[in-house]
Amino acid sequence: MRCALRFIGSTCDIAVISDDGDFAFEHSLALPDTYSALLTSLYDILKGADPSGRVKFVGVSLSGDYSPKTERLYCPSIALINDQNLKADLQASLNREVFIASHAHILAKSANQLPEFKSATNIFSLYLDDEVCAGQLVNQTLVTGANGLAGNWGHICLPWPVEFELEDRDCACGRSGCLGLFVSRAALSREYLLLSEREVPAETVFAQAEQGDIVAESAIQVFEDRLARGLAMVINLMDPEVIVLSGRMSQPSRLFINIPRKWPGYVRGGANATRLVGFANTPEEMRRLCLLGAASLENIEAV
């Protein structure tokens, strides 16, 4: 038996999963006000779900950067756990070994287990939702880096900016112009707001564009170009065979046609050998795959 935690927005999903991958227990915890209350709540929930102590370890999926070497956690979108020594504190509280990885790392590993991507040796995974995080898998091994920063794509500056594009884009990390500020759900809502003076969720912007709303279409084209630039930078740097997109911002099928079409403008010779694919296409599938992946984190090697 394994326990998996998924931190997402203001909640923490908890699951106890059998070695065969069956969900024996599931619960969604609203994040409490304090870090100590979080640790206490998780202890109480796991004790109730596993009274006989069959769960041997806990895997954690979150949107952030975690270095197994330094044990430093950078997760500015969830202030409650940001900069905390989450691994050591959970281990002490739950009395089990704890493993931590980002949603993107976990989904890169999950995608690599699919027959169609089994032979891929270089996979880049990008999770686009309210939060943005990325991960890289090379030769079936997660790349976390010397400082745990290998997936820190969302806090690289938007490449090839046009005039004024980086202005008024302050990030939680303390810098400005970070990619995550241009490709998240909030980013598309903001772009539409700037053009229309109406505030709607990103999904509504996509739906309105489908119905012929030219303002929504304009906002999406700006979003697509920014995402294409951010991914072109990845191709120029590491040239992956597969780029896996997940999260609610990756659901519209138009992205998988329009974004590769933009790459020749930013990548010399284009990037015909790089496949851009969607993964974990619904919130429920995303939840399940992140929990299953977190539950098998003990088997994941990272460099």
Question: Would you say 15 or 188 has its CB closer to Zn ion?
Answer: 188
Residue 265 beta carbon to Zn ion: minimum distance, rounded to whole angstroms: 25
Q: In the numeric block, which tokens belong to residue 76?
A: 């500015």
Q: In the numeric block, which tokens belong to residue 264?
A: 């020749």
Residue 200 beta carbon to Zn ion: minimum distance, rounded to whole angstroms: 25
Strand partners, 176: 170
The residue range among 10-18, 62-70, 131-139, 177-185 that interacts with Zn ion, by the rule CB under 5 A, is 177-185
Backbone angles phi, psi at 95, to 5 degrees: 60, 40
Strand partners, 126: 134, 245
User: Closest Cα to residue 45, out of 4, 75, 10, 88?
Assistant: 4
Which own/partner contact pairs does 18-27 have at CB distance under 8 Å and 24+ positions apart? 21/292, 21/295, 23/291, 24/49, 25/49, 25/50
Residue 44 beta carbon to Zn ion: minimum distance, rounded to whole angstroms: 35
Contact, 127 vs 247, CB < 8 A? yes
Question: Would you say 60 or 178 has its CB closer to Zn ion?
Answer: 178
Q: In the numeric block, which tokens belong to residue 240?
A: 């992956």
Q: Which of 2, 87, 103, 155 binds Zn ion (CB under 5 A)?
A: 155
Residues 6+ apart with CB under 8 A from 235: 263, 267, 271, 274
DSSP state letter for 53: -
Q: Does 215 bind Zn ion (CB under 5 A)?
A: no
Question: Would you say 171 or 195 has its CB closer to Zn ion?
Answer: 171
The residue range among 55-63, 141-149, 150-158, 258-266 that interacts with Zn ion, by the rule CB under 5 A, is 150-158
Q: Which of 46, 178, 183, 245 binds Zn ion (CB under 5 A)?
A: 178
Q: Does 173 bind Zn ion (CB under 5 A)?
A: yes
Question: Would you say 169 or 248 has its CB closer to Zn ion?
Answer: 169
The H-or-E segment that residue 104 falls in is helix 103-112
Question: Would you say 173 or 186 has its CB closer to Zn ion?
Answer: 173
Question: Would you say 19 or 168 has its CB closer to Zn ion?
Answer: 168
Question: Would you say 49 or 172 has its CB closer to Zn ion?
Answer: 172
Question: Would you say 178 or 209 has its CB closer to Zn ion?
Answer: 178
Q: Does 156 bind Zn ion (CB under 5 A)?
A: no
The H-or-E segment that residue 223 falls in is helix 214-238
The residue range among 44-52, 145-153, 166-174, 192-200 that interacts with Zn ion, by the rule CB under 5 A, is 166-174
Contact, 132 vs 63, CB < 8 A? yes
Q: Does 195 bind Zn ion (CB under 5 A)?
A: no
User: Closest Cα to residue 90, out of 48, 52, 45?
Assistant: 45
Q: Which of 24, 149, 171, 277 binds Zn ion (CB under 5 A)?
A: 171
Residue 157 beta carbon to Zn ion: minimum distance, rounded to whole angstroms: 9
Q: Residues in the site for Zn ion, rule: CB under 5 A?
A: 155, 171, 173, 178
